[in-house]
Chain A
Amino acid sequence: MNDIQIWTWSFVILSFSLYIGIAIWARASTTGEFYVAGQGIPPLLNGMATAADWMSAASFISMAGIIAFVGYDGSVYLMGWTGGYVLLALLLAPYLRKFGKFTVPDFIGDRYYSNLARVVAVICAIFISFTYIAGQMRGVGIVFSRFLEIDVELGVMIGMLIVFFYAVLGGMKGITYTQIAQFCVLIFAYLVPAIFISLMVTNTPIPQLGLIGNTGGEPLLTKLDGLTRELGFTPYLAGKKSMIDMTAITLALMVGTAGLPHVIIRFFTVPKVSDARISAGWALLFIALLYTTAPAVAAFARLNFIESVNGSVYEASDETATPEWFKTWENTGLLSWDDKNNNGKLDYHGGPENEVNVNRDIMVLANPEIANLPPWVVALVAAGGLAAALSTAAGLLLVISSSISHDLAKRVLFKDLSDKNELLIARLAAIAAIAAAGYLGINPPGFVAQVVAFAFGLAAASFFPVIVLGIFTKFANKWGAVIGMLGGIGFTMSYIIWFKFIHPEANLPENWLWGISPEGIGVVGMMINFGLVLVISHLTAPPPPDVIAMIEDVRQPE
């Protein structure tokens, strides 16, 4: 075992013991504690928990790497995954908190006075959450296997066991306090290497300033843009996506973020309506810490990578030599080199003559080694990746378990279920969901990675329109909501399945509807949903007076 592994094991064991300790301390004894942590979480702490809930393995491990390779096009993720919080804070969170129940299907079922609408919402919630959670469990396994050289399968099982402890025992209460701890671990783990690399490349300790700073007397971005052009890559500052597709993807991610049930329910846990508003501000502030650092890390890492790898001599031992970390990460398969022209040098550029293949995740995972940082920093990245994946997985598990125990069992099937039995069902559902998520993590269906990105499109096309119309109009009715959700999600799913699974070879801009890619099509699904609710609500009977009274009540602060 080398130094890095000793440090990694220490951090993993330390952080996991902390999570288990919290789980034992924060046991839930009522459904109110299990679903919404007794509505007693202070807004600042809920902001931290929301940030951890939201930032997944993809945000932590993959996002900076994606931006590093697509440059300007990567802006869709930065704006999309933060701008959604403005919609959430202004249009949804305070009103749903005022409504004061436990789940998203709760609101839809009550506002649209229909168990059919409730069941449709439950199916959407479970589907969205499962596509998302499989990726998280896989992420846990991958971090274990890359840093500690143990099997992905064993890694997934360790992850399942940890989540089992705090999600099943503590429900939302346990999840909230572990998420707060996980936020601290993940943000520290993200910022420390970023600060070191910023110092190394731009001489400033603040990555956000480094991005607009100079490197070797020249603006960093100008230099990087020039290098990418020279080497035949997509120019860093230009990007390839069309304006309409950029717009559609950004909007789909924003609206999808606001419509994701595991994010929405976090705002049910604060004491008051005004707390829900300020809490969204804290959440976005904590998220912005990582999201404004990511594009800086992306630019530093890409520049560093090009400069240290391109043209280096593999077998040399002087300053022209290929760096040591390249060889270490070659073993993991994340980097590879094929000397096509047999000159012994790594020729890294755009086009078919390129000899270096890079997995994008390397930009975050190997960054500390690329910057020559001490082993404890490398180990920190592993603990951070695990925290990001576990915190998101737990939030999703709670959505699945409460959909089953509360929305289906209590509200539809057995209306006189006692609180104690409902809690028991919630725990059993959580156990079943962990087992299913673990199975999907160990045997990932080939399409999981692709589907995760589309969870946003599905959330945008199903929940967001009916919740917004449910709060801001009084005419939106039962049939409008049921047909709107089914129409929106049906269209979005068909479009994605058509281009991703049935005819992947036809997935080209000239075949897309109005030039909108499957990633951005949730926006059209959302419009269809909005349109259907508006038209059908005017053709069918208006909502009954008690629903109108409920809408008026939701619009007033306590």
Chain B
Amino acid sequence: MKTETKAKSDLYWRANLRLLAILLSIWFLVSFGFGIFWRDFFDQWSIGGAPLGFWFAQQGSIYVFVVLIFAYSFLMNRLEKHFALDAEPEQ
């Protein structure tokens, strides 16, 4: 029983780390990637009247950050339900 719980929590932790890696890559890409490193490349397109790279540096990255945290929160709740590690006591 105890080893089963241990194996379960190891799986949970690995799934958590995988999720973190994916979300943090997006975090890095939209800010440092689109807004700084490849800004000039992205500026060849525009969104409304703003060059796209500039827009990511001053607007777009922030919107993506907000979405990332809500996505993380949603996916972690699902992960915890899946591994039955949910914080809510069973009714």
Contacts and interface: CB of A to CB of B under 8 A. Distances in A.
Contacts of A291: 62
Nearest to A236: B54
Given A212-B47, A219-B50, A556-B9, A292 B70 contact: no
B49 A212 contact: yes
A427 B4 CA distance: 48
B73 A212 contact: no
B59 A86 contact: no
B80 A274 contact: yes
A292 B50 CA distance: 14
B69 A72 contact: no
A211 B50 contact: yes
B48 A219 contact: yes
A179 B22 CA distance: 34
A83 to B, nearest CB: 5
Contacts of B20: 90-91
Nearest to B87: A558
Query: Interface residues of A: mostly helix, strand, loop or mixed?
Result: helix
A89 B48 contact: no
Contact of B50 (A87, A212, A557): A212
A340 interface: no
Contact of B57 (A72, A272, A292): A72
Contacts, number: 128
A39 to B, nearest CB: 13
A273 to B, nearest CB: 6
Given A83-B31, A274-B76, A281 B85 contact: no
Contacts of B87: 272-274, 557-558
Given A246-B36, A285-B66, A79 B48 contact: no
A78 interface: yes
Contacts of A243: 36-37
B66 A208 contact: no
A85 B65 contact: yes
Contacts of B68: 86
15 contacts: A75-B57, A78-B58, A79-B62, A85-B65, A85-B69, A86-B65, A90-B24, A219-B49, A273-B87, A280-B69, A281-B73, A284-B66, A288-B63, A556-B85, A557-B85
Interface of B: 9, 12-13, 16, 20, 23-24, 27, 31-32, 35-37, 46-51, 54-55, 57-59, 61-63, 65-66, 68-70, 72-73, 76-77, 80, 85-87
Interface of A: 67, 72, 74-75, 78-79, 82-83, 85-87, 89-91, 94, 208-209, 211-214, 218-222, 237, 243, 246-247, 250-251, 272-274, 277-278, 280-281, 284-285, 288, 291-292, 295, 552, 555-558
List of 3 A-B pairs having minimum Cβ-Cβ separation, nearest first = A219-B49, A212-B48, A75-B57
